[in-house]
Amino acid sequence: MAYSQWRDVTKRNPCPICGKPDWCSTNGIFVCCRRGDGGGIERQDKSGGTYWLYRVDAGGIDYNPNNIEISEPPPSKDSKRATPDVLHKVYSDFKGMLSLSQSHKENLLQRGLSESEITLREYKTLPLMGRSRIARELGRRYGNDICHVPGFYLKEGNNGKSYPTFAGRPGILIPVRNFDGKIVGFKIRIDKPEEGEPKYTWFSSNGRPGGTGAVNSLHFPLFDGPENVIRITEGELKADISTALSGIWTWSLPGVNSWRLALPVLKEIKPEKVLVSFDADCWQNRNVANHLVAFIEELQSRQLGGESE
Ligand SMILES: [Zn+2]
């Protein structure tokens, strides 16, 4: 049937999920979005690239379609990004080569984290100098794999030959962990953000030669306490601090519009209560407020005891 043919999205027909003109595809009934901006059914293609399926034929976007019968899976793309296992290995080695500066440590202590919490959560300083030496060493260990790890890319040297290095403004490097505790990315708290620049950005080399964009993922702080109450917030460092200080496992969404990403995991661990905790000024922004209300309604409809905090 005609709908089983996947077409790449274009500038004229961009992806209805992420709004971008490339990388994603659609067959008229389903959309295969490769950016994962919230919800959808997560799958992997033959090349190990992650994509998310949505149903779009009913005039709206179904973020959780059931009865997915696809005669032909979406074409595998060089998704560029390495698998979570490879990301974790490379990133673990990477952070092992970095240290935490005294001023960054003091910054974290001032936020209420103890020395042992700072050690446990493995914050580092993203340095300005010595980058190619570190990237070269990782390239020696992992070969081409590091070209598929967000943050790393190839820079052209004076002699015209490329060498590996990494991107990102100097700042505090904050590990972003998946549900299994693996490091699948980093956020950077930039030391001196320029005017209009956000204080926190992903460690990403998107758009650079041999570079890769970061995955928009939830962050699950390391935690071994009770799972009957879960708090959900926005901001990785905030989630770490909240987990450490309150003893309530606090997850971070990559954005308030990405709340659907949390549903599959919540469904699995079935907490008695989910506290949704966003900045009070969120409620001033109508679009954000709509997302929060929809999130809490969805939690309540799933008997997950969602409440705003
Ligand atoms: Zn998309």
The answer to whether position 12 is within a domain reads: yes
CA of 137 to the centre of ligand 1 (A): 34
CA of 16 to the centre of ligand 1 (A): 7
- The residue ranges of DSSP E strands in the chain, in sequence order, are 7-8, 25-26, 30-33, 41-44, 50-55, 124-126, 152-156, 162-166, 171-177, 183-190, 200-202, 229-234, 249-253, 273-276, 306-308
CA of 42 to the centre of ligand 1 (A): 13
Check residue 67 and give its pLDDT: 65
Query: Could you identify the residue written with the tokens 């960054």?
Result: 104
State whether 143 and 235 are in the same domain: no
CA of 126 to the centre of ligand 1 (A): 30
State whether 110 and 198 are in the same domain: yes
CA of 41 to the centre of ligand 1 (A): 13
Residue 121's CATH number: 3.90.980.10
Check residue 109 and give its pLDDT: 98
Nearest Cα neighbor of 138 from 174, 119, 167, 166 is 166
Q: What is the pTM of this model?
A: 0.76
- pLDDT lower than 70: segments of the chain: 1-4, 36-38, 45-49, 67-73, 75-80, 281-282
Give the residue numbers spanning the domain of 292.
229-308
The answer to whether position 216 is within a domain reads: no
The answer to whether position 215 is within a domain reads: no
State whether 88 and 71 are in the same domain: no
State whether 70 and 92 are in the same domain: no
Check residue 4 and give its pLDDT: 61
Q: How far apart (Å, rounded) are the C-alpha atoms in residues 308 and 290?
A: 13
CA of 17 to the centre of ligand 1 (A): 5
Total structural domains in the chain?
3
Q: How far apart (Å, rounded) are the C-alpha atoms in residues 139 and 132?
A: 10
CA of 134 to the centre of ligand 1 (A): 33
CA of 107 to the centre of ligand 1 (A): 37
For residues 92-113, one letter each, b for 16 or more C-beta atoms within 10 angstroms of the residue's C-beta and e for the rest, the string is eebbeebebbeebbebbeeeeb
CA of 9 to the centre of ligand 1 (A): 8
State whether 122 and 194 are in the same domain: yes
In angstroms, the Cα distances linking 91 to 85, 102, 140, 203, 205 are 10, 22, 14, 11, 14
The answer to whether position 245 is within a domain reads: yes
CA of 53 to the centre of ligand 1 (A): 10
The answer to whether position 162 is within a domain reads: yes
Could you tell me which residues are beta bridge partners of residue 253? 234
Give the residue from 47, 78, 109 where a domain finishes: 78
CB 265 within 8 A of CB 283: no
State whether 89 and 121 are in the same domain: yes
State whether 114 and 132 are in the same domain: yes
Count Cβ atoms below 10 Å from residue 82 Cβ, excluding itself: 24
The answer to whether position 220 is within a domain reads: no
CA of 34 to the centre of ligand 1 (A): 5
